Every structure is written in C-alpha cells, then in structure tokens.
Structure 1
Amino acid sequence: MTLELNRDWWRGAVIYQIYPRSYQDSNGDGIGDLAGIVERLPYIASLGVDAIWISPFFTSPMKDFGYDVSDYCDVDPMFGTLADFDAVIDTAHRLGVRVMIDLVLSHTSDQHPWFVESRASRDNARADWYVWADPKPDGTPPTNWLSIFGGSAWQWDARREQYYLHNFLVSQPDLNFHNPDVQNALLDVGRFWLNRGVDGFRLDTINFYVHDIELRDNPPLAPELRNATIAPSVNPYNHQEHLYDKNRPENFDFLRKLRAVMEPFGAAAVGEVGDAQRGLEIMGQYTAGDDLMQMCYAFEFLAADAPTATRIIEVLNKVDEVAADGWACWAFSNHDVMRHASRWNLPPAAQRMFASLIIALRGSVCFYQGEELGLPEADVAFEDLQDPYGIEFWPEFKGRDGCRTPMVWEPSNQNGGFTEGRPWLPVSSEHLALSVTAQEQDPSALLHHYRRAIAFRHAHPALMTGDHGGLNASGEVISFTRSAGDETIFCAFNISDTPSDLEMPKGTWDTIGEDLGSAHPSADGKLHLGPWQVWFARKRG
C-alpha cells in the first residue's frame, strides 16, 4: 500500500526513531528485528506520529551496529529479510505512517565487496572508490585528520602500501565522493529503497561525504572554542577546526543529485549535521531552496548541558539568521546521546514541559523510542558494554549503550516484554515500572502527555508549518508566537522549577492546550507560570 503523494508531508512532521536492535524481538534471539517492528506498529500509530525512522538494518558485520554496511540493498539476517521489510512498509502505510530509513553513505564496512576489491591493488576497477593516499616521506599519515572514535583518521594498508581514510572506526573506510561512479552507485541505492516504498531517508553524517581533494591539514582550534557536542571531551577530535576532512562545498553537487532522485517519489530527507562549531550554519546551507535536502538537524539540543531560556532563544535566533530559507528538525534524544531525562536531570514535570516545547518549535520533530515513556539513561556495566566508543573511552565516557537498551513493553518479567531470550543489552530494572503497559493504564502517565502534545500540534496549522516571531527570554521563561493564515498562537514555557510571572501579550487571547497543563491568566493581567508550566493561547479576531 502506498500513501497519497504529498510532497510537503515532512514539513512540521513528527518522526519516531526506532533503533531496531532494541525495539522488539520476534524470534527469541535477544535482538530486535523487522518483524518485531511490524508487531508494534499499531502502538506507534497510536502515538499519532507522521513517520518512523528506522536505524540501519542492512547487512553488516556489526562493528558499529549497522552503521558499517556491507550490502546496501539487503537486510542483515539478524533483522529478517526483504520480505519482512516489505511488511513494515505495507503495515505502516496501512496505518497512515510513513517510513524513513537510515542511509549511511559516507563510508562502508571494510567487508563491503567494493572495499575488498579496492584494497586488492592500485589498478583495479574500484581502486579509486575509497580515499587512498600515499604516506608522507617519513611514512606518517597524509594529513593530521582525526577519527571521531579516537586517533588518526588514516589506516595503513600493506596490500596497497597506502593509507585509507576512516572518519569513524578503522573498519569503516570512507568512500571517495570525487569519483562519479561512487556517487552513481549510491544514488542507485536510494532508488532501490524508494522503489520498495520508503518515504524518505535519514542521512547519517551528511556533512562528512566529501573530503578535501588537496588533503590539507586541519588547523588547530583554540581551547575556548572547543566543545564536546560531537565527540566526548576526552577525544582530541575537539582540538581541530574541521575544514578539510568534512564540510566541503563539493557536497552540494551530490545532495542536488540525491534530491533529484527522491523528487518523483515525493520522498524527504533529514540530514545529520555533525559539526560542533558550524552545525546550524551548515543545516541552513543544506536545506536552502528546493533542490537540496528538506530537513537537517544539528546538535544544539543534543548537548550535555540543560538549555537555559537564553540559550534556547539564542539557538532559534541563530536559525533565523543562518537558515531562514531552510528547515530544522529538532530532537532532544537519539541513539547517540544520553537520554535527555538523565542528561538534563529532568523531573517528570520538566519532561512534560520539554515535550510541549518541542512540538511548538518551528521545524519538524524527532522523538526517540522510549522518550515518550520518560526512560532515563540505563546504567550498563563495563562487562556488558557493546559500543566500541564506550569501550575505547571508558570510564570518562561510557559510550552509547545506556540509551540503546531494549524498549520496555510490560513489567512482568526482567526483559520487559522485549524478548523471550537473553537481550543483547540488559534491560534496566529501573525501566520496568515505566513500561508501555503500566503507562497505558495510568491516565496521568507521560505517555499520554506525548500523545496529547502530538495531537495538539496536528490540530494547529500554526504549530505545524507556521512562522515564528517575538522570540523572547525573560528570566527562565521563553515565549514566542507561531502564525499561519488567520491563526496566531502565543507559546510560553517556564523552563525552571521556580514560579515566574510573564506580562500578557497585547490583544485578546483564548487559552488552549489545557490538557497539556496550560496556565490561565489571572485577573491582574499577569500570567503566573508554576514550575515547568506552559501557556498556549490563540489570538482572537
């Protein structure tokens, strides 16, 4: 089944991210799979989301859990078969939910047949499909570029007596986008999945595709400009300004080609922009006009520190400055960062407020599985770690396993209804009381707040696709308006545990969003916001 063609379905959409290893296991092997997703799609549809984004399920040796692809056009047996994927598409579409898949185009696994052939000699048909370079005269790597996973981004290969580039794991060699044959092969990958019915792509590390063909060294980054948004603070990756190993202007040519492939299908893409200094600027560049990507997200709200009112307004103003012609996709959590309930140390009332905030922002929205349950970060013991990132930098950085533990569906057993076998990561006992079944039976549970917030967004065109204005931070209260057509909505959020007052905006306003805890103005003409309280109001006349 295909959904009605709507080229703007993505604008203002709410997208639910599924990490398939951890969503639902259908066969008892302890690993989530595509058939498990099919089983849980009615639940996902009940949230009211517009689309799902499924993290990689392609054939892979799983050194980086699917982000190291060895066959772009098949399903890894641990996740099922192409027929299982077709069932995901058919079931989701029948339920009115679109399907986006995670394409990892910047690099492959070192077990991909393309790389196996490329490394065999310097003169084979795919010799130039990856980024190969001779050593410097003293035998050291060609540049000073560093890997996100630590150490040099170059690995010596004795077969070719050359280095190859890997921005991530040594087992994830980077493709050479300066080769037109590489670009065409990757565009064919996109066509393969579009023809199977996918509605769009999440594009992993979209700004890493193209490297500097001159192989120039990155300059050092001043200590005061370093931050740990992209890599943990213990990683020297933060010591460079990444001008030449990513963010290259030649990337625009490929993105335009990819958009042209997607256009006949009405498909949309959201790109992950990994850059600690220029993320919003690149997001604006990559989503400008109608021939590049529809959406991108940067890491501003995936950062470690809880955002202050001033910081939130600063980010939104910066987006207006550098991405006025683009479109953001906002997220507070995903599979790469500590869950924001723990990262920002949020009590339940604060989690509700942040859910209400994100659905009011101009842009589209991504929710990460379990976020709607308020799952905290799981504490995974070192002996249970699977993530190579955490194993490398333990204990200063514990990796990403804490946000990737299995979804909890019901509290009656230690595996939370995720599997009948031994789960690939242990289920947190702290999560069991927050299971879907437990929250379905509690009208006051966070799960129902997320449903109401999503429905509220869909009920108001101003929140879905409208402009914003009047961005303001007053103490720890932020406020702005959203407007579309004849609808204007005023949004205010107390992002602290201290009561605050706000001057009422001019005009006549009707309070809306009562089921989200929206405040009511008092007779004195002031708006009294309790801790973590919100106010939504629609302008009358």
Structure 2
Amino acid sequence: MAQQQWYKGAVIYQVYPRSFQDTNGDGIGDLKGIIARIDYIKSLGVDAIWISPFFKSPMKDFGYDISDYRDVDPLFGDLNDFDELIAHAHQRDIKIIIDQVLSHTSDQHQWFLDSRENKTNDKSDWYVWSDSKPDGTQPNNWLSIFGGPAWQWEPRRGQYYLHNFFTEQPDLNFHNPDVRQAVLDNVEFWLKKGVDGFRLDAINFCYHDAQLRDNPAKPPEKRQGRGFSEDNPYAFQYHHYNNTQPENISFMQDIRTLLDKYPGTVSLGEISSEDSLATMAEYTAGGDKLHMGYSFELLTNDYSSEYIRTTVKTLEERMTQGWPCWAFSNHDVERVASRWGANGEVNPQQCKMLSALLASLRGSVCMYQGEELGLGEASVAFEDLQDPYGITFWPNFKGRDGCRTPMPWHNNNCEQAGFSTTKPWLPVDEQHKNQNVSEQESDQHSILNAFRHFMAWRKTQAVLLEGDIEFIDTPEPLLAFYRRFAGQTMLCIFNLAQSTTSYDIDHINITPHSELNHHNGTVNKNTLTLPGFGCFYASIG
C-alpha cells in the first residue's frame, strides 16, 4: 500500500499494555513487554499496533487520565523504551498508533493544579469552570458517563468544573485558543518521535456548549446507550450540548493540518454521540479532517445480521468521502466471543467466523488483544475489581475489568500463564489459560492459526482491502455482501448461527475460493450449504 494510504484496509492490533506482557515482575505489563512479543504480533499479519495510554498518570482511569502528555509512566518504562519499541516495530514494517486523550486531563496535571487555584492565574480559563446556581447546585443538568452529575465543586475557586468522565478527569476548555495550541503541541511531540498515527479518544467531547444549556430528557424507550450500563442515568438525556459541538470541526481540521506535515501519519477518531454514524461521516468528510472514524455501533449486544447490515449500510450511505474503521471488541466492552456467543459461551468456530467477517467489511479493522485467541469475557470477583466504574455499578454492571485481564502466553503449570512472575494487577482467567498462545500455535486447527491464515490470505485480496461493499438482502442468520474493486467482484456470505443453513444462489455465477482453510461452504447445483458459523468467499464470473 502506498505510504499515504497504508491505513486503508489495515488491520490494527490494539495492545492494552497493562495486560500484555510484564517484564519487570511488578504484575503490570510494560513497553518492554510489547517489544518482547513484537514477533508474535508480526506473525498475526497485522499492519499496525494501537497502544492504549502509557503516559504519566495517577491511573484513576488506568491511563486515560494523563498528568504529563510528554512522558512515559514509570509503570510502563521510559521514553527510551518507547523509542526502542518504535524502532523494533518499524524494522518489521509495523506502524505504531498511540492513544491521545485530548478532551480532558488528570486533575493532577500541572495545568489543572494551576487553574484551580484562583480565577486570575495564567491557566484560569484552561478548564470549564462555572459558578453555581443561586441555590448552590450544579450549573446545569449535564451528567457524567460514569454516573452522577458532570460537575465537581472546587473550594479553592468557589466554582464547579466540568468532567464528562470521572471527577479526576476535568475537561479542557477548547474555546480558549491557547488550549488548542498547547494540545496540538503535545500531539506533535509524538509525531517527532516517529509515531505513525493517533487513536483519538472521545474526540467529539473536546468542545462544550459555551452557553451551558441543559440537555433535554430522553424518553425511556430510547434510552439505549453505547458502551455504558443501561441503568446508568447518562442514558436519560439527549447529549446535545456537552459534546459534538460545531466548533469541534475546526479542531479536526487543525489536527489534519498538523498530521499532513508528517506524511503517512493518520488519525482514528473514537466517536460516541447521539448519532455516531452521522458524526463519523462528518468528521471524515472533505479530506481535511480525520482519516478514519469508529464508534461503538458494533460493540453492542445486537448480533443479528439485520442489525450489522443496517449499521454498515447506514454508514456507507453517509460516509461518502471518509474511511470507516470497525471493531467487535476493545478495552471498554465485554469481549465479543462472550457478548455474541450463545448464552455467553465461547464457540471456536464462531470466533474464526467473526474475525473473518470483521476483516471483510469495507474499512480498516481494530482487533483487540486476545481476540485472535477467541478469549471470552473473564470472570472477575468483586474483591478483585479495579475499575471504579464496575465497583460503582456492581452487580448490575461489572465494569470493564473482564475484558482487560492478562494475555495467556503459555500454561506449563504456570499460575500467571506466562504474563508475569508475580500476582498480576488483575487475575488471569482460568478459562484463558486453556486458550494460551503456545498451545494454539501447535494446533493447526486453532483459532489463532485460522486468524493468521485468513489475514495472510486477505493481504492478497485487494478487493477486501479497498473495495466497495454492496449488501444482499438475506434472511437471518445469513449476512451476505459483494466487495468490488478494479473490475473484480467477490461474494462473501456468513452464517451467524450454530446450525447449518442453506441459501439459493442460482442467480450468481461463482468460482469458490478453495484455498481458504475455513471457507467451509459447499455448493450443490444452485444451493449453498453453510455449516454453523460457516464462511463462504467466491469470485463472481
């Protein structure tokens, strides 16, 4: 792929560094751990690594509360380790994408420590401050994603500050041009380090409504959140004013202008708005904003072919200029092997099919560490929970710890599955030990080897990397579409159910791709028969 377009069709492997590989025996993964496993990542056939935050932080939200944007937290190593990681990745033709958390900082960031002191200091308006109402209550009805009001009283200033997330994550005031420039300067620090791109966390949250207008109430039947608990009051409002403001567009353009100075670098925006698909289209339109956008639309519990088809089709209709990126799992939601598994049970064949399906949609792909092993959601006892979100909403919602437990590298009667030599920050799941990398590598039929085989084959298929997509209306549980590129057409059909399903293809002239090892459909006359969780790829003659 051309340097400027490498991201199109790229498979981006998300590493959650706390849980990937511990090399210094403190129970927490580190940058040297990623270096130690870089050849494993290369073997997966991915194009880039997205590394979740490793910057200095009090770790109230495990790195998404940053106190120094230009340094590595000692938990993960130091800047020399990061430089070494960049070098090792680039030697293997792997790109490095890092998280940038721009909308808010830690409450321990020096900017905030200065800002909170009084109303006259140089940083006094770098955050979103407001007087109380006459009765002392919050300035408006905005809510935090993690539950409760989005305002915290600060007695030093005698004002409230805004936090769309935890109270320890005060929101920056992007209406101040000095803030915008300081944030961009922090981003450029890493560009100069040689990173290939950024995953921009909650990027539509940078701006707030300057008038601080109340959000309108949302009817009970429409309280369907994306990526947060259904009993969370955050779902009770339309979030028209605390995020996704019109001014944010010009900031997206500022980011793009900066990236364009570093050829080949890309931006991937995480977007969660009232209409995330529309916002994704808006933020990637025109070639002067973000390169890619992704949302939580396929990180939900709805596993029907109708939902997947409708979601992707809707984005295709709206995103006529930008480039999509899709994910089934990440560090914030229940792992897809459990979330979409029957009764929460992991089915190896379904895991193989889901990876193939995700990587066959038009766009780039984010694969979360362990997804290539078919890891399900870990069971974490209440006394072992680390995520304050889960602790607050227990037992109705158990938080995000279940998808963040350590990677299982080998069993060998090793209690920590090769992740660490000591008790890790979260326990290794017992089921995961049986799905470890070492044992799967020696099994030619494993989920891991199926993943590797598919990704290697996919790299040879330009139609899957950059082609258009056209869906076929099929009954449940089938999902079918064409991919088209440079005169080539490929038919892709997936059986989302565990039972065998047949489909009439008499109207299609096909040549099946027999070289795909888990391409397991059979054609008899005009009927395609797919076993449970089967995949079918064919060239159209």
TM-score, normalisation: structure 1: 0.97
Contact 1:456/1:513 (8 A) holds in 2: no
| 1:140 is aligned to 2:148 | no
Q: Which residue of 2 aligns with 1:63?
A: 60
Q: Pick from 142, 150, 153: which aligns with 2:150?
A: 153
**3-state secondary structure, aligned to 1:501:** strand
CA distance in 2, matches of 1:507, 1:64: 51
| 1:455 is aligned to 2:451 | no
| 1:88 is aligned to 2:88 | no
Contact 2:304/2:476 (8 A) holds in 1: no
Q: Which residue of 2 aligns with 1:269?
A: 267
Q: Which residue of 2 aligns with 1:285?
A: 282
Give the aligned residue type for 1:453.
F
Give the aligned residue type for 2:468.
D
Q: Which residue of 1 aligns with 2:380?
A: 380
Percent identical among aligned pairs is 51
Give the aligned residue type for 1:171.
E
Q: Which residue of 1 aligns with 2:340?
A: 344
Q: Which residue of 2 aligns with 1:531?
A: 532
1:507: Cα distance to partner? 4.9
1:142: Cα distance to partner? 0.7
Q: Pick from 288, 311, 317: which aligns with 2:313?
A: 317
CA distance in 1, matches of 2:4, 2:371: 28
Q: Which residue of 2 aligns with 1:46?
A: 43
Contact 2:287/2:322 (8 A) holds in 1: no
**Pair 12,311 (structure 1): closer, same or farther in 2 beyond 3 Å:** same
**3-state secondary structure, aligned to 2:523:** coil
**3-state secondary structure, aligned to 1:136:** coil
1:506: Cα distance to partner? 3.9
Q: Which residue of 2 aligns with 1:212?
A: 209
Q: Which moved more, 1:294-303 or 1:70-79?
A: 294-303
**3-state secondary structure, aligned to 1:17:** strand
Contact 1:317/1:471 (8 A) holds in 2: no
**Pair 406,523 (structure 1): closer, same or farther in 2 beyond 3 Å:** closer
CA distance in 1, matches of 2:384, 2:29: 17
1:222: Cα distance to partner? 1.1
1:464: Cα distance to partner? 0.3
Q: Which moved more, 1:453-462 or 1:68-77?
A: 453-462
CA distance in 2, matches of 1:433, 1:166: 41
Where do 5+ consecutive residues of structure 1 fail to align?
Answer: none
**Pair 397,523 (structure 1): closer, same or farther in 2 beyond 3 Å:** closer
CA distance in 1, matches of 2:359, 2:243: 31
| 1:165 is aligned to 2:166 | no
Give the aligned residue type for 1:25.
D
How many residues get paired?
Answer: 535
Q: Which residue of 2 aligns with 1:365?
A: 365
1:500: Cα distance to partner? 1.8
Q: Which moved more, 1:101-110 or 1:134-143?
A: 134-143
**Pair 187,5 (structure 1): closer, same or farther in 2 beyond 3 Å:** farther
CA distance in 1, matches of 2:174, 2:469: 37
Q: Which residue of 2 aligns with 1:394?
A: 394
CA distance in 2, matches of 1:240, 1:34: 40
Contact 2:287/2:321 (8 A) holds in 1: no
Q: Which residue of 1 aligns with 2:328?
A: 332
Task: State the Cα deviation string for residues 273-311 of structure 1 (Å, max 9, x = none).
Answer: 123x41111111111121111111111110123x11111
1:116-515 matched pairs, under 5 angstroms? 116-265=113-262, 266-275=264-273, 277-305=274-302, 307-345=303-341, 346-412=346-412, 413-504=414-505, 506-512=507-513, 514-515=515-516
1:522: Cα distance to partner? 2.9
1:475: Cα distance to partner? 2.6
CA distance in 1, matches of 2:185, 2:33: 28
Contact 1:313/1:473 (8 A) holds in 2: no
Give the aligned residue type for 2:416.
N
| Aligned CA-pair RMSD | 1.3
CA distance in 2, matches of 1:392, 1:309: 34
CA distance in 1, matches of 2:172, 2:533: 47
Give the aligned residue type for 2:308.
I
Q: Which moved more, 1:314-323 or 1:145-154?
A: 314-323
Contact 1:359/1:453 (8 A) holds in 2: no
1:515: Cα distance to partner? 2.9
CA distance in 1, matches of 2:188, 2:292: 19
Give the aligned residue type for 2:52.
S
Q: Which residue of 2 aligns with 1:19?
A: 16
CA distance in 2, matches of 1:473, 1:111: 53
Task: State the Cα deviation string for residues 300-353 of structure 1 (Å, max 9, x = none).
Answer: 110123x11111111122112222222211111100001111111241111111
1:518: Cα distance to partner? 1.8
1:484: Cα distance to partner? 0.7
**Pair 513,215 (structure 1): closer, same or farther in 2 beyond 3 Å:** farther
Contact 1:356/1:516 (8 A) holds in 2: no
Contact 2:13/2:366 (8 A) holds in 1: yes
Contact 2:506/2:527 (8 A) holds in 1: no
CA distance in 1, matches of 2:334, 2:448: 20
CA distance in 2, matches of 1:317, 1:332: 17
CA distance in 2, matches of 1:516, 1:308: 25
CA distance in 2, matches of 1:87, 1:74: 15
1:169: Cα distance to partner? 0.7
CA distance in 2, matches of 1:434, 1:333: 18
Contact 2:379/2:402 (8 A) holds in 1: yes
CA distance in 2, matches of 1:519, 1:339: 25
Give the aligned residue type for 1:308.
S
CA distance in 1, matches of 2:291, 2:454: 24
CA distance in 2, matches of 1:531, 1:537: 18
CA distance in 2, matches of 1:522, 1:461: 25
**Pair 396,513 (structure 1): closer, same or farther in 2 beyond 3 Å:** farther
Q: Which moved more, 1:237-246 or 1:424-433?
A: 424-433
Contact 1:229/1:304 (8 A) holds in 2: no
Where do 5+ consecutive residues of structure 2 fail to align?
Answer: none
Contact 1:153/1:166 (8 A) holds in 2: yes
Contact 1:511/1:520 (8 A) holds in 2: no
